[in-house]
């Protein structure tokens, strides 16, 4: 049995200010989920929550999400908050009171919160301020992005800079990171941005970091397969993870650099050699596959995007990406042709972007969005949220393969539970696809392991 809560935030506000945009992305989406969890609040707003369990699934497709969730998640205190008032209050605060958020330790900062409480009189605020004062998220986590000036790194850094949970954001790259950090540091969100360039500064970048995200490497060009990237990116990941092992061995490590099916085993081997491998804290980021599966399914079946949740298992390349459409929520019926068409589109979605960009790189914006979601989930788990579920490519005993992507429950120490139930009752198509992907995935995993072991022997 498990429960799965996801706030989906595809909203359509007319943004009145950058702060409104900020709140829309993080506060109403990611943050409101955190607030709901932390204080057991249920906001009645446009945000929607979908909940799944092994036995059932219900979707909050109207305003109030709480009561639709399984009974274990119903909370006694239900607070209504109009997000539009909330947004206005924040942008109004900044304009009217010139309160700086930058040096404060919490999202709005203590001083800002005080002014906000004193100055804002809307009904929504009056009815919620008592609770709000207790749910101020504390920005207290340190995140490092390695490869921060790249196509993924930059938008990812922006999204992470917007997180109310981050106190320090360290950006590392071999090139151009100073400008990116200077630019970002002007955003008046709580985290302090620092730049680090070159191997001599890598250790300082990583010291005491809670979450390390690695998008460093080269992206795919047209005609390139993920395996073509192997030799370049394998070395980059090996070096960077070695530094992580030396400087922040307890951090959650998010590997984005492709081919993820090999770079995650590479990272595991490096960490083993350094004697600090904790399989619960090493993640291959496959969130983009889930994001794409949700989007494409919603488009295909004319579903509201926020209602859709598709688990994606296996690996993160071509046929190793296996969306479990039979487990999609809400439950949808497909013809065989539709299953085939959707599955292939999800598997080849990366190529769709590579070809459209015609030589200018691979998916960066959607990847940054997906990676930011995974960072936020990790931070919430670190922060004690007990309802965090994501799909990820991890060391696994779910199949005979040593690494496998599936839905997992995240906790303070990393992977807490691997969700078995989604692999039960697969359709014939999915069972066959699962068998077929194993050969390729096994080879990619072995290639990664051999890469590190060969170098160790040579040394």
Could you give the residue numbers annotated as active site?
316
Taking CB under 6 A as the criterion, the residue among 33, 173, 385, 422 binding ligand NAD is: 173
- Binding part of the chain for ligand NAD, among 52-60, 256-264, 295-303, 375-383 by CB under 6 A, reads 256-264
Cβ atoms of residues 218 and 229 within 8 Å: yes
- Select from 17, 18, 13, 46 the least CA-distant residue to 32: 46
Residue partners of 399: CB distance under 8 A and separation at least 6:
423, 434, 438
Integer Cα distance of 214 and 268 in angstroms: 14
Taking CB under 6 A as the criterion, the residue among 113, 128, 247, 258 binding ligand NAD is: 258
* DSSP codes, 260-316: HHHHHHHHHHHHHHTT---GGGEEE--HHHHHHHHHHHHHHHT--GGG-B--EEE-S
Preceding omega of 57 cis (within 30 degrees of 0): no
Please report whether residue 220 would count as binding ligand NAD according to CB under 6 A.
Answer: yes
- Which residues, 302 to 331, sit near ligand NAD by CB under 6 A? 316
Intra-chain end-to-end CA distance of the chain, in Å = 48
Taking CB under 6 A as the criterion, the residue among 66, 215, 311, 448 binding ligand NAD is: 215
**Closest distance between ligand NAD and the C-beta of residue 266, in Å?**
13
**Closest distance between ligand NAD and the C-beta of residue 241, in Å?**
11
- Select from 205, 226, 169 the least CA-distant residue to 393: 226
Please report whether residue 448 would count as binding ligand NAD according to CB under 6 A.
Answer: no
Please report whether residue 364 would count as binding ligand NAD according to CB under 6 A.
Answer: yes
Integer Cα distance of 129 and 149 in angstroms: 39
- Binding part of the chain for ligand NAD, among 150-158, 303-311, 341-349, 445-453 by CB under 6 A, reads 150-158
**Closest distance between ligand NAD and the C-beta of residue 412, in Å?**
24
For ligand NAD, which is the closer residue by CB, 101 or 312? 312
- Select from 376, 380, 374, 365 the least CA-distant residue to 392: 374
Tokens coding 297? 């399914």
Taking CB under 6 A as the criterion, the residue among 216, 312, 349, 375 binding ligand NAD is: 216
- Binding part of the chain for ligand NAD, among 217-225, 292-300, 333-341, 395-403 by CB under 6 A, reads 217-225
**Closest distance between ligand NAD and the C-beta of residue 131, in Å?**
37
**Closest distance between ligand NAD and the C-beta of residue 194, in Å?**
15
- Binding part of the chain for ligand NAD, among 74-82, 117-125, 303-311, 358-366 by CB under 6 A, reads 358-366
Taking CB under 6 A as the criterion, the residue among 29, 60, 153, 318 binding ligand NAD is: 153
Preceding omega of 139 cis (within 30 degrees of 0): no
Cβ atoms of residues 306 and 278 within 8 Å: no
Please report whether residue 236 would count as binding ligand NAD according to CB under 6 A.
Answer: yes
Tokens coding 26? 């993080």
Please report whether residue 219 would count as binding ligand NAD according to CB under 6 A.
Answer: yes
- Which residues, 259 to 288, sit near ligand NAD by CB under 6 A? 260, 285, 288
Please report whether residue 361 would count as binding ligand NAD according to CB under 6 A.
Answer: yes
For ligand NAD, which is the closer residue by CB, 305 or 360? 360
What does each C-alpha distance from 135 to 2, 123, 444 come to in angstroms? 26, 18, 45
Under DSSP, is residue 64 helix (H, G, I), strand (E, B) or coil? strand
Please report whether residue 234 would count as binding ligand NAD according to CB under 6 A.
Answer: no
Binding site for ligand NAD (CB under 6 A): 146-147, 149-153, 172-175, 215-220, 229, 233, 236, 240, 256-258, 260, 285, 288, 316, 361-364, 367
């Amino acid at each position: 049995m498990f429960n799965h809560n996801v706030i989906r935030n595809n909203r359509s506000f007319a943004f009145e200010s950058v702060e409104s945009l900020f709140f829309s992305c993080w506060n109403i989406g990611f943050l409101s989920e955190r607030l709901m969890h932390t204080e057991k609040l249920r906001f009645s707003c446009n945000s929607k929550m979908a909940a799944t369990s092994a036995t059932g699934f219900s979707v909050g497709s109207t305003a109030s999400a709480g009561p639709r969730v399984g009974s274990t998640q119903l909370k006694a205190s239900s607070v209504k908050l109009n997000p539009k008032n909330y947004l206005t209050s924040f942008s109004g605060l900044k304009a009217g009171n010139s309160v700086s958020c930058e040096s404060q330790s919490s999202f709005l900062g203590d001083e800002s919160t005080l002014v906000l409480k004193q100055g804002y009189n809307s009904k929504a605020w009056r009815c919620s301020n008592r609770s709000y004062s207790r749910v101020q998220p504390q920005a207290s986590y340190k995140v490092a992005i390695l490869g921060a000036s790249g196509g993924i790194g930059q938008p990812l850094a922006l999204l992470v800079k917007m997180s109310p949970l981050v106190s320090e954001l360290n950006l590392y790259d071999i090139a151009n990171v100073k400008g990116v950090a200077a630019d970002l540091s002007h955003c008046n969100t709580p985290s302090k941005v620092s730049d680090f360039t070159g191997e001599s500064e890598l250790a300082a970048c990583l010291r005491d970091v809670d979450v390390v995200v690695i998008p460093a490497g080269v992206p795919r060009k047209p005609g390139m397969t993920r395996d073509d990237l192997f030799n370049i990116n394998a070395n980059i990941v090996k070096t960077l993870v070695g530094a992580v092992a030396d400087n922040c061995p307890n951090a959650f490590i998010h590997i984005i650099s492709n081919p993820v099916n090999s770079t995650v085993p590479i990272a595991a081997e490096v960490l083993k050699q350094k004697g600090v491998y904790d399989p619960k804290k090493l993640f291959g980021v496959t969130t983009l596959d889930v994001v794409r599966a949700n989007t494409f399914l919603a488009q295909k079946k004319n579903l509201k995007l926020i209602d859709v949740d598709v688990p994606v298992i296996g690996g993160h390349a071509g046929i190793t990406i296996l969306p479990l459409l039979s487990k999609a929520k809400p439950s949808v019926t497909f013809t065989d042709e539709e299953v085939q068409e959707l599955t292939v589109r999800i598997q080849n979605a990366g190529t769709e972007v590579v070809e459209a960009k015609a030589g200018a790189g691979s998916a960066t914006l959607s990847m940054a969005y997906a990676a930011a979601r995974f960072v936020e989930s990790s931070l919430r788990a670190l922060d004690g949220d007990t309802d965090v579920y994501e799909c990820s490519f991890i060391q696994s005993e779910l199949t005979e393969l040593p690494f496998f992507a599936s839905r997992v429950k995240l906790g303070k120490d990393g992977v807490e539970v691997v969700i078995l139930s989604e692999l039960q009752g697969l359709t014939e198509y999915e069972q066959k696809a699962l068998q077929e992907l194993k050969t390729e995935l096994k080879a990619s995993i072995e290639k990664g392991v051999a890469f590190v072991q060969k170098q160790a022997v040579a040394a």
